[in-house]
Amino acid sequence: SVKLSTSGSADLDWYLYHEANTSTYLARGYTANNPEQGSYNATQVGTYYVRVVGYSGATGSYTLNISGAGVSP
């Protein structure tokens, strides 16, 4: 699960990727809510990347919490 909280009124979104250099995301939090929350059930083992994007002159700070469970074969 992913949770992105921001201070102030900045509009921030998050995008989850399996590869660092791709434009195809697996999940996203893109509403005007604060915090932005979502989840994804990973189907592949490996490294995942989260990108945070700010809109409308976003300033201030944010907190990104990512949690999950690993599965061993």
So what's the pLDDT on residue 72?
34
So what's the pLDDT on residue 73?
33
- Output phi, psi for 32, to 5 deg: -95, 10
- Cα torsion 30, 52, 4, 32 to 10°: value is -30
Note the pTM of the prediction, 2 decimals.
0.80
Task: State yes or no: pLDDT of 17 exceeds 80.
Answer: yes
CB atoms within 10 A of CB 60: 11
So what's the pLDDT on residue 46?
83
So what's the pLDDT on residue 14?
93
So what's the pLDDT on residue 70?
57
